[in-house]
Amino acid sequence: MSVVRVSDRDTTKPLGNELSRRQLLQASLGVAAVRSMTGLAAEPIDRQALVRRHTVVLHKWDPLAPLSVGNGEFAFTVDLTGLQTFPAFYEKGIPLCTLSNWGWHRFPLPTTLRVEDFQPEYYECHGRKVPYWTRSKGQEELYRWLRENPHRFHLGLVGLAWRNTEPGTPTPDDLTGVRQELDLWAGRLTSEFRLQGKPVMVETCCHPQLDLIGVRIQSELLASRRLWVVLRFPYASSELSAADWARPQLHHSRLVGESNGNAVIQRELDTTTYFVALRWDGSAELVRDGTHEFSLRPAQGQAVLELSVLFTPTRPTQPIPQAREALSASERFWESFWSSGGAVELSESADPRAKELERRLVLSQYLTAIQCSGSLPPQESGLTCNSWYGKFHLEMHWWHATHFALWGRLPLLERSLPWYRKILPKAKQTASWQGYRGARWPKMVGPEGDESPSPIGPLLIWQQPHPIFYAELCYRERPRRATLEQYAEIVFESAEFMASYATEDTSRGRYVLGPPLIPAQENHPPQSTWNPTFELEYWLWGLETALRWRKRMGLEPEPFWQAVARKLSQPPVAQGVYLAHENCPETFSQKNYDHPSMLAALGMLPGKRIDRETMRRTLLKVMREWQWDRTWGWDYPMAAMTAARLGEPEMAIDFLLMDTPKNRWLPNGHVWQRPNLPVYLPANGGLLYAVALMAKGWDGGPQRLAPGFPTRNWVVRFEGLRQAI
């Protein structure tokens, strides 16, 4: 029988008494004695070996396996040529897009419509009417326009083109001997293939600070002028591909500058303007081939083309970096990224699932770094393609980004937190409009923070405590007055809304949540839903945490927050298990699909008022009776965290690696959900948070290392992780 053996090293800050004890043992007894006496391996993880054994290597065309390079603000997704040469092949899989956090567009509002004419729907709320943006009836056209605008759009396609030796349109079958490698350690794609019998090699990267791709192409076909680079620009679309190629008359592409290996193209789509700057080394000619198409053709005899392409909302005033500079910057950034923060190694485990779990962990770190670490909360499909018009869902921000804090990369979470302060006036306006105090955060939004109409979204509430959770993660890393002052307003305005949202039930001496509301499990009608298990526990945690913030700052407690927290309804139980909400006896019959969110009350949260044995029965019932083919990708790490906190580590692993259609991990590390949602990054972020919790532990958890992993067949080495709340 093999037992769990862990290494808990933190290269960024002390681990407290445990690390001090190890250091003393090392000084007096030597490393070997430490290993035998404590089960701790003293040597650091070979991070480069860990990352590079999960280098992505592809040999065949797969519409669900394009690869991306990016920097958190911008991503460029490519096919097996290393560029976007065959976008049509990926249309029914994962589209080849170029997306950014600044690239938003609005379709012109029809002249017959006015945004201010949109009417809310009113819901009965304990004797008063509360407005929500849920109504579509009688205003369908305006409802659709508000949902679709603004939307992210495809900034432009960069691909290869060549002169055919045979008649017909180029296809992927023209390429032979294809091999593509994503070197995660360097952030570099290398694509090799043969075309017309000649070898072609393409290297692709993204600059870590600029929305710029660097490309190096080498082939005899360049020298004979039979191969070149093509740039094509679409009109905006709110669809998955973010591109409309069928309406060239609605946008403009102008060459506004060209000299000495540099060029600038200005793009105009209705009221949106941006620029595409190019820089190439050697002799080449930029040729306009169509209304929205340009070709960069190297001079005769030139077998290497180095090209950098910058996408930017403002016209560059200085030459952009060369491709080789972008490649070097990418290598430096990614080596630094992987060498710092957390790492988890499972390669010595006997469980045959360990290799796949380690692969998912490494690829999820890469994908969330390039997709979820920018200045805006990410959309569910990140910067790969559009989901819900490119808008982001604030209840999902937790699943996208909290793991950065636990993996020792808190700044990647903090990049998006100033956005909450930016939209705070609108969040306060929403709360006031509905008769509440504080700030009510929207659900489905674009960068301006305007709530999108939806039959579900405006009625959700579980995103409300999220900013308090983010702030608390920041304080745990930096327990200083400056951190408190930085986030106090967001914390206090969130808590003020939460307290005012709860309604006092004087007949039963308690406060209730809803109706109306829709819980995290979205298949419940708002007018007959109240006191959902997870939201009750999150409300309690959020209010008590906000009160601790006041105490830390030397402020008096808010009596109303205290009263609501003290008298909040108890999580509902029936027949020995937790219900989805108080009015849902059919939780495990008619409603046993979508998120089993009652589990999050002890898992995602510490579960102060949750009875462990009741939750254990609930977890077992969910595992047996839930319709797992009708769940979502973050449900698996959510259930795993509940299992871990209940001392069921084998079950935690089973949940993480459950074989279901909604837990389908692709070769590129993405998690498929359905045809119109082939990329689902909350699953990646959730996995990272869950494994950090399972390895490093949680507040008040068992003192042994890796408490969420089984003691049989698992060898867990980790370093640089933080304990979960």
How far is the C-alpha of 594 from the C-alpha of 587, rounded, in Å?
11
Q: CA nearest 673: which of 286, 310, 342, 387?
A: 387
Q: What is the DSSP string of 467-504?
A: HHHHHHHHHHHS-SHHHHHHHHHHHHHHHHHHHHHSEE
What pLDDT is recorded for position 40? Answer: 44
Burial 499-508 (b: 16+ CB within 10 A, else e): bbbbbeeeee
Instruction: Name the one residue in this structure whose structure tokens are 């193209």.
Output: 265
Residue 17: per-residue pLDDT = 33
pLDDT at 169: 80
Confidence of residue 48 (pLDDT cuts 50, 70, 90): very high
pLDDT tens profile 346-372: 999 999 999 999 999 999 999 999 999
Within 71-197, strands assigned E span: 74-78, 98-100, 104-105, 121-125, 128-132, 151-152, 157-162, 175-183, 188-195
Banded pLDDT at 162 (limits 50, 70, 90): very high
Average pLDDT on 129-150 reads 98
pLDDT band at 282 (very low <50, low <70, confident <90, very high): confident
pTM over 0.85: yes
Q: Within a 10 A sphere around the Cβ of 525, how many other Cβ atoms?
A: 11
Distance from C-alpha of 719 to C-alpha of 485, rounded to nearest angstrom? 30
Q: Output the CA–CA distances (angstroms, integers) from residue 595 to 399, 474, 640, 653, in the order listed.
A: 13, 28, 13, 19
Mean model confidence pLDDT for the chain = 94
Task: Decide if pLDDT at 12 tops 60.
Answer: no
Q: Are the CB atoms for 288 and 256 separated by under 8 Å?
A: no
Q: Which two three-digit tokens encode residue 408?
A: 């020792």
Q: What percent of the chain stands above pLDDT 90?
A: 93
How many whole angstroms separate alpha carbon 275 and alpha carbon 262? 13
Q: What is the mean pLDDT of residues 233-240?
A: 97
What pLDDT score does 1 carry?
A: 29
Check residue 652 and give left, alpha or beta (phi > 0: left; psi -120 to 50: alpha): alpha
Domain edges within the chain: 6-44, 56-105+150-333
How is domain 56-105+150-333 classified at the architecture level of CATH? Answer: Distorted Sandwich (2.70)
Mean pLDDT of 146-159: 98
> Is residue 710 within 8 Å of residue 655, measured between CB atoms?
no
Q: Are 497 and 437 in contact (CB under 8 A)?
A: yes
Tokens of 447: 């960068």
Q: What pLDDT is recorded for position 133?
A: 98
Judge whether residue 42 has pLDDT over 80.
no
Report residue 22's pLDDT band, with 50, 70 and 90 as the boundaries: very low
Q: What string of H, E and C letters represents the secondary structure of 231-282?
A: EECCEECCCCCCEECCCHHHEEEEEEEEECCEEEEEEEECCEEEEEEEEEEC
Task: Report the percentage of the chain scoring pLDDT > 70.
Answer: 94
Q: At what angle do helices 354-371 and 681-696 cross, to 10 degrees?
A: 120
Cα torsion angle, 596, 597, 599, 603, sign = positive
* 201 and 217 Cβ atoms separated by less than 8 Å: yes
Q: What is the pLDDT of residues 297-329, one digit of tens each?
A: 999 999 999 999 999 999 999 999 999 999 999
**HSE-up of residue 543 (Cα within 13 Å, Cβ side):** 25
Query: DSSP 3-state assignment of 680?
Result: coil
The model's pLDDT over 487-543, given as tens digits with 9 standing for 90+, comes to 999 999 999 999 999 999 999 999 999 999 999 999 999 999 999 999 999 999 999
Q: Is the pLDDT of residue 25 over 90?
A: no
pLDDT of the residue at 130: 98
Give residue 521's pLDDT.
98
* Cβ count near 425 (within 10 Å): 11
The pLDDT, as a whole number, for residue 6 is 53
Q: Is the pLDDT of residue 9 over 70?
A: no
The rounded distance, in Å, linking the Cα atoms of 326 and 86 is 24
